[in-house]
């Protein structure tokens, strides 16, 4: 892969700190029926009918199954995660419904790291991660999420 093929290298120009070369290890997420039941109870969701998990599990599997905790990724990049990080935006594309009692492999990369002006913080760092969630080698969902946190002083 050369520099022009590297989505990280293309996306982070002008960022607060560089994400070039920052590797997030692959991980896995076991979506059990009992966890789906518990999550549904916790958010007053309809009961499961069949094997199909609550669609929020694409998001949960992406974050819970990535090889590092999102806080550790942010801290590793020198970002102020502990100063009040919030989720800003997300997009989830489903290739198929997620099912319970299934192991999902999660591959994560840094898509963009940008510093922007912020009404709340003065300046804020926007970290966008992209996750691919696969089962038995087939991609089931693609997640892109942006975490926003105050820029370090």
Q: Which is nearer to other proteins, 48 or 115 (CB)?
A: 48
Q: Which is nearer to other proteins, 17 or 45 (CB)?
A: 45
Contact positions vs other proteins (CB under 8 A): 35, 38-39, 42-46, 49, 52, 54-56, 59-60, 63-64, 66, 69-71, 81-94, 97
**Which letter does DSSP use for residue 57 in this model?**
H
Q: Which is nearer to other proteins, 23 or 83 (CB)?
A: 83
Closest listed residue to residue 107, CA positions, set 69, 64, 140, 62: 62
Which residues, listed in sequence order, are joined to residue 133 by a DSSP beta bridge? 106, 141
Cβ-in-10-Å burial (0-12, 13-18, 19+) of 153 comes to exposed
Ordered alpha helix ranges (H), 53-137: 57-65, 70-76
Q: How far is the CB of 124 from other proteins (least distance, A)?
A: 14
Q: How far is the CB of 56 from other proteins (least distance, A)?
A: 4
Q: How far is the CB of 3 from other proteins (least distance, A)?
A: 30
């Amino acid at each position: 892969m050369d520099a022009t093929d590297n989505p990280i290298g293309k996306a982070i120009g002008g960022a607060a700190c560089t994400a070039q070369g920052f590797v997030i290890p692959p991980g896995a997420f076991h979506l059990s029926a009992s966890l789906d039941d518990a999550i549904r109870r916790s958010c007053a969701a309809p009961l499961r009918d069949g094997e199909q998990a609550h669609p929020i599990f694409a998001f949960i599997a992406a974050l819970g199954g990535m090889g590092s905790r999102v806080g550790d990724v942010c801290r590793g990049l020198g970002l102020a995660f502990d100063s009040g990080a919030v989720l800003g935006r997300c997009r989830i594309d489903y290739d198929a419904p997620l099912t319970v009692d299934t192991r999902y492999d999660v591959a994560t990369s840094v898509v963009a790291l940008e510093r922007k002006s912020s009404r709340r913080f003065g300046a804020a760092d926007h970290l966008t991660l992209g996750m691919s969630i696969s089962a038995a080698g087939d991609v089931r969902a693609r997640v892109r999420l942006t975490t926003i946190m105050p820029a370090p002083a």
